[in-house]
Structure 1
Amino acid sequence: MAESAVIHLLANFAPFLQQEANLLTGVREEIQYIRDEFDRMTAFLRVADAMEENNPELKVWVKQVREAAYDIGDVLELYMLRLGHRYGAGFRGFLRKVSCFIKTLKARHQIASEVQRMKSRVIDISKGHQRYHDRYGMLEQGSRSTGLNTACHDYRGDALLLHESEVVGIDKPKSQLIRWLVDEDPRLKVLSVSGMGGLGKTTLLKKVFDDSVVKNHFQSHVWITVSESFKIEVLLKGIIKQLFEEIKQPVPQGIDNMAANSLKGIINAFLQQKRKTFMENSCPSHLERLSKAILNRCQGLPLAIVAISGLLSTKDKSSVDEWDKIYRSLGAELQGNDILLSMKKILSLSYIDLPYYLKLCFLYLSVFPEDCFIDHWRLIRLWVAEGFVEMKPGMTKEEVAEGYLNELINRSLVQVAKMRRDGRVATYRIHGLWREIIIVSKSGEQNIVTLAGEQSTEWPEKVRRLSINNHWEYTQQSKHFTRLRSLLMFNATDSLSTLSIIASSNDGLRLLTVLDLRGASLETFPNEVLKLLQLRYLSLRGTKVKIIPKSIGKLQNLETLDLKQTYVTELPDDILKLQRLRHILLYRCLVDDVPSYPFEYQCGFKAPTEIGSLSSLQKLCSIETNHDNGTILLREVGKLTQLRKLHIQKLINEDGRVLCSSLEKLSNLRSLIVRATGEDEVIDLDSLSSPPQLLRTLCLDGSLYKIPHWIPSLHSLVRVFLRWSKLRDVDPLESLQDLPNLVELELVQTHEGEQLRFKAGGFQRLVILCLGGLKGLRCMKVEAGSMPHLEELFIRECKLVEELSSAIEHLTNLKYLQLGDMSNGLISSLSRDLERGNNWKIARIPKVWIGDSKLGYWEGNYL
């Protein structure tokens, strides 16, 4: 854990060492010494990382390194803030430089004194490092050893490797054994299988042992091989190890030296705990609500269910208070309960096993409230702003961060809550017990995140990151916030006053890098923000802020500006001073989520004309181009070669060629959304000769003469939306059906013809199809072999007259059919057939929904 802090610190030393003109004599050498000393510690930290949890003395030393790294980083950044001036050129610049030197002399002496103190602190920590120097060799050697073991070969084990399909003649005896084990007399029993060698006894029994019916019937399972000459103690130890490994709990200490009777006692105690909490009796009615609530806290984690059930079995069944106390304070119960402590140790193993660069990212998840759905891109942008993400050649930091998330998903440490329709993850969630037992406790212990209002009452001396959920009564002394780096508020009603209170501490919020006020009750841009010169991430999403002040140009370290769903309609020219900006997110939906959007359901913002100077931009959403400088603005977009997502609003026909010229330069583009000034305005992008080949999402809202000729060449396309195209003599399916990776297709007022024909072999990966506003459509044909993987079909405002069942006959994987505002005749016949059980083609679809919006709202029924 400390290594992440140290590596981040080392990466930031260079700018300070380059400021030689501003450094007092000796300070440069002191900083260089500190850097070199931390550099020497880093190699040891990488090896010590995995041993920190089990070595209290080493844990103290690592904590000292981590806190020293944070404090030195604070000192150096404060130094930069106080002395980092631009003097200008010429004689006036020289005078400013001399004047500044005199004015800041006291501050520079203070910095020199602080650096000297930090050097002494590092020297003391280094002495502690020397005490571990001998151990370092052993650690390094241990990490390289392979530990090969040799053992006699047991040929019976070969039978266990056979797949069931490779074995013949066991179906009948296997079924019989399973019946004896599961279906018949529930009393304890022993079943014996005998026969000559090679008959297949071991194979048969292993297949019974592995059968899902047997696995689900018994809570514990052990496979033991008994040879002709055996020791009972060895067998009992093997049983114990398997029993505890199955529930991922550590094996009791000292079993290697126990006699047979003691080992039998452990097995007996274990199996006694395996009865559910109320033994053979049902749950008392007065505990049912709490039982379900506690079970929900376990969220399906078997280890948690077993451990907490064991705890509850020791409690008074007549006392609701005792059970309620456990529900409310599972975290506190961990401190004094051996059963739950062992669960915590087991859960900790997954955390300890993480590589150093993931530990900080993982514990950072504690900033999000319990049961919060964590947005994919929000988390990634926060990680990047916090400095957690390493640079890798040929990759953006955001791409590296996505790799981090995938690692955590693969380790089952974060759960996917919602998938996007293109197969990517939209939101995540954290298992409640994971969050409470591991993430929150370790995050607080290592001073990564402080949670205001949660159970912990003891605050660190220097709060580094503060997360406030709902209302928070300010009772802490201001000294806690002198080194605050991140402030995130969730559902806060008094965010502005809270921000003002925290900003009034000794150094204000001068070191703040992350400020997330999403959803706060703000109507004006907070003045305190303009003083946060280190700010990298600013979110005012969902607030009522209307105007961004010119002085935002002071925030020259800003990387993310999130103003989605605010009332801001224009960004000042001073935004161009923010050369590190990577994400500008600013648009607002004008209507709620309804089946049929009006054309103007979103508005963007008026961008500065010279937007092309922001060369680091990756996301630009969404700029309006129907003003006097729109043509120049579109030309400037071509300079943003790092763009991954581009959203353009209110494009006029005459600017289509200029946009095409710019798009040819955006080779990194993954998402392109273009909306015309009105539904009758033509979008002319046919002059685009070299489209971005990595494009995954394409949305064109406006009239088209024809489908752009370059669309069929975009083999990376996953999602295509063509709305208000109003094509007359052109079949849009011809250009789209062979796209090899197309998963989602939406056609809204795209086609004015009477028929759509989905040909055999077309749309081989399509999962979602939405057809809307095709009022001329009378017939929909789907040939066999078309859309073989289609799962969801939405049809709205289409006056189909032919029977729909023939169109979906070959869509054998269809799971959801939604029909809205269709012809009365079609809906009536469909409903009548389904009620009578006549239409099996529709009836086989798991979910069918029919709705109508004629009354001014959207309502419907599942059939």
Structure 2
Amino acid sequence: MAESAVNFLLQRLQTIVENEVKIITGNLEEVVYLKGRLELLTAFLRVADALEESDEELKVWVKQLRDVVHEIEDLLDESELLRAHNHTNLFSASLRGISCCIRNMKARYRIASELKAMNFRVRNIFSDHKRLRDKFEASIYTGNNTWHDQRGDALLLDKSDLVGINKPKKQLIKWLLQGCSNRRVISVTATGGMGKTTLVKQVYDDPEVKKHFRTCVWITVSQSFRIEELLKDMVQKLFNEIRRPVPPSLENKSGDQLKMIIKNLLQRRKYLVVFDDVWHTYEWEAVKYALPNNSCGSRVMITTRKSDLAHISSIESNGKVYNLQPLSEDEAWDLFCRKTFQGHPCPTYLIDTCKCTLRKCEGMPLAIVAVSGVLATKDRRRIDEWDMICRSLGAEIQGNDKLDNLKKVLGLSFSDLPYHLKYCFLYLSIFPDLIQHMRLIRLWIAEGFVKAKEGKTLEEVAEDYLKELLDRNLIQVAETTSDGRVKTLRIHDLWREIIILKSKDQNFAAIVKEKNAAWPEKIRRLSVHNTLPNGQQKMSVFQLRSLLMFGVAEKFSLRKLFPGGFRLLSVLDFQDAPLKRFPVEIVDLYYLRYLSLKNTKVKTIPINIGKLQNLETLDLKHTSVTELPADILKLQKLRHLLVYRFDVKSYAQISSKYGCKFPPGIGNLKSLQKLCFIEVNQGCGMIISQLKELSQLRRLGIMKLREEDGKALCSSIEGLTNLRALSISSEEENKVIDLGFLSSPLPFLQRLHLYGRLQELPNWIPSLHSLVRLYLKWSNLKSDPLVSLQDLPNLVHLELLQAYDGDTMCFKSGKFKKLKVLGLDKFDELRQVKVEKGAMPYLEKLIIQRCELLKKVPSGIQHLTKLKVLEFFDMPAELIMTLRPDGQGKDYWKVAHIPEVYHTYWRDGGWDVYPLESFRESSPRSGTVMRSHELCTLWKV
């Protein structure tokens, strides 16, 4: 982590040197010297970060360097803050302004003096560098890691130690023995500790596999990958396998010569080669050409922690990828009891505690075995000791030798991360549970973790970072949207425990979960979970960069909580906090880049909000803010402005959004990428005409569009070629939206929501080849919109609410080829829905609601073989009765293949859900009623 801290500081120093910024009194000599020394240290830091846990002296050295780097960063920030204040005070002729200038001048001399002192400390740290480098020279050049010796244990396990391996083993053997005669690559991927090596070794040793392949070789690939050494190892094993002497001149062969030897040996053989624990794509690239595609049915197997590598290596040969899943609950419990109780049953009084502990392992075999090893030594009569392990597993990981191997296995993945991803991954420790995707992206950017790349926005670079963490199996997707975008993320509970410990150890972040929890001496990031900490006035929060709150229900005051203030704060996340007013002290935070008041009761924004010159994200979603002050136009760096709320008073208003009034002059905010939702029926159309200035916009939401402003809107948005999402609402439900003036389609538009009457469907919509989601609400079209929409090549989600006045809708064969979700709502004249065979071949979810004249289930619904969910809301009783599964429903056979069928009524602000057994021929609304504000399954077939 010192590597990450130094690299981030070097980026800062590089900017200062390149621009010759006078951050202190005097010249830049101190900064240039400091930059040079830190650059010389970076080559050693990656090794130092990996080895510091095993050497106390090195650990102290790394800590000293990290602390100095943080203090230098503080000095630079303080200097810039003084420079900004001086610039402001130059325009003030008052005595107060002159006094501030004098105080700032003294502070600048103090900063200059402290920077010189920092340079002296860096000199001392640098003097120890050569001695430590010599001490660890072998590790630097060979990358030795004792953990790789321990990994061999996985190759020696007895079958009695294995749980949950039969199904994946059978699948892998089938892939090996069957299929084409060309060489095929089969990859097994999962995070560390999931049992990849164990599984593949069982496959490799299977008698059927040994009999099928003439030549079998197992190659262990380490992080310290050196191509020549690996190829020599491979040659030696191949010669041993075919019982021929190894050539004596092997040591003198080049890499290309070694590859040729391997290729010649395997050219006429049906071979199986396993590469265990491949870390990087270039490792596979270095060996793949030595493996001949000899049409003998040869196979290559790869185990890797990185999903992208698994897919790349397999795609080339039309191979297969097996994503190894965690053990099921039953399998995990079986393994846990075997290891903890030596095969005996768990005592009944320990079952709850053991299952609580086991849940934290989340089906990871290595974790289960490691934790079981700890519990196996505990006195079974001391229930309190078993409970303590469950409650404080993180502390056990830190201090228990029996969990060292678990730490090393998981820690290896962390050590392999490039420096910019280490900070990003460690940042996940501040979240208590699920992590919202876009929230994380914006926070990473605000923290300065995302480095700019030519041709990409910071958000796109951050998405690349996230994809790499997903590919490395360090985080998982928890929830996706209907069109496949990541919505929420999660990390393994054990990973969370480990990075929380590392965050604390590295002074990266403090996570406070109790009122009396002790804080570090100097805090850089503070994450408060559920309860506010007691005031600790003696603790310094001057260094505080980020303050985030999760689940805090208590009222609080920033001044009382932090009486000393925090001038360097860049992130302030008060989502869901019990706030009724905007904390006025926030507007003095010069460095603030991220401010979220989402889901609070804040009603107004201060008129001097423009003082937040560095603000990039302002999240006011689901607040009571209805108008923004003119000062908002001063926020030239603002990238994300999110202001809207839902107000569900009745079923008819579900999904109704309410936006915000905006002052004229929005064209000044040229950095905006997301702007939603603004009301545009004010200012004589000025706001609409200024939208064309926002060329960076990727998401735009406008409300209360007047019919006469349609042409101006089309003129403004046709130049916004970066738009990915567009939402437009008319002034009222029955008012027309006129969007026929758009001369060229938006090339990258993926999501389009139109709320208002359409005289006809805009002719540019069928040309939106990137469109994946379309909502039409209140359109009242006279002609069938399906004709225009059915050939959209990437449409995944289609919602139509009161969109068509006709009595029949027909989904033609071969149309809507990628549609997965379809919603039909409030079609007042609709009497029949037809689905031709071959239409919507991938439809997974169908929702039909409030169509009072539709008395029959869609004809041809039985052709929708991929359909998983069918939902009816407030539909006629006649239709529901035809679907009774008790033999009386004449159309039940049409939906019998659908796993889940729902039927619900909206009554008095909630859902009435009726179980199937309560239905009677007279009325489906008789019988027991269950009240719920969430949709419940009516029946599963």
TM, length-normalised to structure 2? 0.75
SS in 1 for 2:841: coil
1: CA distance between counterparts of 2:563 and 2:18?
32
Indicate the residue corresponding to 2:707 in structure 1. Answer: 653
Work out the CA distance in 2 between the residues paired with 1:422 and 1:553.
37
1:37 alignment partner, SS class: helix
Per the TM alignment, residue 839 of structure 1 is displaced from its structure 2 partner at its CA by 2.7
- Residue type of the alignment partner of 2:4: S
Listed as ranges, the matches of 1:368-407 within 5 Å are 368-369=431-432, 372-407=433-468
- Cα RMSD, aligned residues only: 3.8
Question: 2:533 is matched by which residue type in structure 1?
Answer: E
Provide, for residues 260-311 of structure 1, a one-character-per-residue CA deviation record: whole Å limited to 9, x for no partner.
Answer: xxxxxxxxxxx99993433443332222222221221212222111222233
Instruction: Return the offset for 1:128.
Output: 2.3
Secondary structure of 2:800's match? Answer: strand
Partner of 2:130: 130
Change (3 A) 1:30 1:737: same
1:503 pairs, out of 557, 562, 575, with 562
Q: Deviation per CA, 1:820-861, whole angstroms, max 9, x where unpaired? A: 111222112222666568732211110001122356642234
The corresponding residue for 1:609 is 664
Greater Cα offset, 320-329 or 43-52: 43-52
SS in 1 for 2:479: strand
**One of 911, 923, 927 as aligned partner of 1:858:** 911
SS at match of 2:660: coil
Which digits, 9 at most, give the CA deviation of each residue in 1:118-159, with x for residues without a partner? 121221222123335557986775479xxxxxxxxxxxxxx9
Paired position in structure 1 for 2:801: 748
Moved more, 833-842 or 398-407: 833-842
Match of 2:472 in 1: 411
Superposition pairs of residues 531-542 of structure 1, within 5 angstroms:
531-542=588-599
Matched, 1:814 2:867: yes
Separation in 2, partners of 1:570, 1:342: 56
Separation in structure 1 between the aligned mates of residue 641 and residue 581 of structure 2, nearest angstrom: 19
1:622 alignment partner in structure 2: 677
Aligned: 1:665 with 2:719: yes
Amino acid at match of 1:605: C
1:221-253 Cα deviation digits (max 9, x unpaired): xxxx99999xxxxxxxxxxx99xxx999xxxxx
From the superposition, tell whether residues 630 and 490 of structure 1 become closer, same or farther in structure 2 (CA, over 3 Å). farther
2:177 aligned residue: 164
**Contact kept in structure 2, 1:495 and 1:517, CA below 8 Å:** no
Which residue matches 1:355? 418
Cα distance change on mapping 1:596 and 1:203 into 2, 3 Å:
farther
Structure 1 residues not aligned, in runs of 5+: 145-158, 169-191, 208-224, 230-240, 249-270
Query: How far is the alpha carbon of 1:689 from its aligned partner?
Result: 1.0
Q: Residues of 1 paired with 2:35 and 2:720: CA distance?
A: 40
Cα separation, 2, equivalents of 1:17 and 1:247: 45
Which amino acid letter does the alignment assign opposite residue 357 of structure 2?
A: I
Instruction: Work out which of the residue numbers 629, 636, 646 in structure 2 matches 1:579.
Output: 636
1:512 paired residue number: 569
TM-superposed CA distance for 1:68, in Å, is 1.6
Confirm or deny: 8 A CA contact 1:478 1:504 kept in the other structure: no
Aligned to 1:705: 759
Q: CA deviation at 1:761?
A: 1.2
Task: Check if 1:493 corresponds to 2:493.
Answer: no
- Residue deviations 1:383-405, cap 9 Å, x none? 10001111111111111111111
Structure 2 residue aligned with 1:780: 833
Alignment partner of 1:316 is 2:379: yes
Does the residue aligned with 2:338 lie in a helix, a strand or coil? coil
Q: Is the 8 A contact 2:24 2:111 kept in 1?
A: no
Letter in 2 for 1:680: N
After superposition, the Cα gap between the structure-2 partners of 1:273 and 1:324, relative to the gap in structure 1 and judged at 3 Å, is: closer
Structure 1 residues 96, 488: closer, same or farther in 2, change over 3 A? closer
CA contact (8 A) 2:699 2:724 kept: yes
Structure 1 residue 447 displacement after superposition: 0.7
The Cα of 1:452 is off from its aligned counterpart by 1.5
Give the Cα–Cα distance (whole angstroms) in 2 for the partners of residues 44 and 366 of structure 1: 27
Q: Is the deviation greater in 778-787 or in 126-135? A: 126-135
Superposed CA offset, 1:506-548 (max 9, x none): xx21001111111111111112212211111111111111111
Match in the other structure for 1:203: 212
Offset of 1:562 from its aligned partner? 0.8
Going from structure 1 to structure 2, the CA distance change for 1:809 and 1:14 (only over 3 Å counts) comes to same
TM-score, normalised on structure 1?
0.81
Q: In 2 relative to 1, CA 652–129 (structure 1 residues): closer, same or farther, beyond 3 Å?
A: same
- Determine the structure 1 residue equivalent to 2:231: none
Aligned residue in 1 for 2:328: none
Matched, 1:597 2:610: no
Bigger CA drift: 100-109 or 791-800? 100-109
Contact 2:667 2:694 in 1 (8 A): yes
TM-superposition CA deviations, 1:784-804 (whole Å, max 9, x none): 111000000000011354632
Matches within 5 A, 1:452-491: 452-453=512-513, 459-474=519-534, 476-491=536-551
Distance, in Å, in 2 between the alignment partners of 1:809 and 1:713 is 31
3-state SS of the aligned residue for 1:104?
Answer: helix
Cα distance change of structure 1 residues 640 and 285 upon mapping to structure 2, 3 Å threshold:
same
Q: Percent identity?
A: 49
Deviates more, 1:337-346 or 1:689-698: 337-346
Q: Distance in 2 between matches of 1:460 and 1:720?
A: 50
- Are 2:23 and 2:80, in contact at CA under 8 Å, matched by a contact in 1? no
Structure 2 residue 777 is the aligned partner of structure 1 residue 723: yes
The equivalent of 2:282 in structure 1 is none
The counterpart of 1:286, out of the listed 349, 357, 361, is: 349
In the TM superposition, residue 333 of structure 1 has moved relative to its aligned partner by 2.6
Could you tell me whether the CA contact under 8 Å between 2:695 and 2:719 is conserved in 1? yes
Q: Distance in 1 between matches of 2:67 and 2:133?
A: 21
Cα distance in 1 between the residues matched to 2:120 and 2:559: 36
Mean CA deviation greater in 757-766 or 134-143: 134-143
Distance 1:834 1:682, change over 3 A: farther
Q: Deviations over 1:20-58 (max 9, x none)?
A: 796665453222322332233334435655445545444
Residues 1:445 and 2:505 aligned together: yes
Which residue matches 1:521? 578
Matches of 1:815 and 1:705, distance apart in 2: 35
SS of residue matched to 2:608: helix
The structure-2 alpha-carbon separation of the partners of 1:642 and 1:398, relative to structure 1 and needing over 3 Å to count, comes to: same
* C-alpha displacement of 1:668: 0.7
Please show how residues 35-434 of structure 1 align to structure 2 within 5 Å: 35-46=35-46, 48-85=48-85, 102=102, 104-132=104-132, 142=142, 163-165=176-178, 202-203=211-212, 275-369=338-432, 372-434=433-495
1:791 corresponds to which residue?
A: 844
Deviation at 1:472, TM superposition (A): 2.8
Q: C-alpha separation between the residues in 1 aligned to 2:21 and 2:829?
A: 75
Cα distance in 2, alignment partners of residues 815 and 361 from structure 1: 37
Q: Post-superposition shift, 1:351?
A: 1.3
Give the partner amino acid of 1:784. Answer: K
Q: Aligned residue pairs: how many? A: 764
Q: Which letter does structure 2 place at the counterpart of 1:345?
A: K
Matched residues in 2 for 1:344 and 1:139: separation? 20
Which residue pairs with 1:732 in the alignment?
Answer: 785
Displacement, 1:608? 1.8
Contact 1:779 1:801 in 2 (8 A): yes
